[in-house]
Amino acid sequence: MVQGRGGPSDSPGPETGTPVGDVYEWFQRGMRLLSEGSPAAAAALLERAADAEPESRSVREALARAQFNSRQYADAADSFRWIIDANPAEDYAYFGLGLSLWRTGDMEGAQEPLAIAVAMRPDLRHYVSALKSVRATLRARRM
């Protein structure tokens, strides 16, 4: 096994194609990759973690963030929807879903989850700003 700065390699094991370590280690390495600016690598590792622990909301949220940051917007939207289905009180998931839909070009679809996020957390300026931008775009398209 190759050792790097932070521990075991993120490369697959020689025979299984599975990353070295357990789900928690995959999650930790995925989070590190995400914070270090490697969202595509993080998404690949976190996808494995989500497959192994399908009920983990923390893994799913990290996966959604990694997918969004690596421009996998449709996949990110699916992951954020999963979080909302599991817990409809997750304002960040509504925000992430809205942004993901916005990035796919679905302005109509983006408006509702962003409005829900703003209704849940009107104090968060970035939520309000995103909703205003989507609504302004929709108004401009109607003119």
pLDDT in tens, 83-140: 999 999 999 999 999 999 999 999 999 999 999 999 999 999 999 999 999 999 999 9
Sign of CA dihedral 113, 117, 66, 69: positive
For residue 21, give every residue at least 6 positions away whose Cβ sits within 8 Å of its Cβ, in sequence order, or none.
8, 29
pLDDT digits (tens, 9 = 90+) for 34-81: 999 999 999 999 999 999 999 999 999 999 999 999 999 999 999 999
Residue, of 28 and 5, whose pLDDT is higher: 28
User: Of all residues in the chain, what percent carry a pLDDT higher than 90?
Assistant: 84
Does the pLDDT of residue 7 top 60, yes or no?
A: no
21 confidence band (pLDDT: 50, 70, 90): confident
* Residue 22, pLDDT score: 87
Please, are residues 105 and 137 in contact by the beta-carbon 8 Å criterion? Answer: no
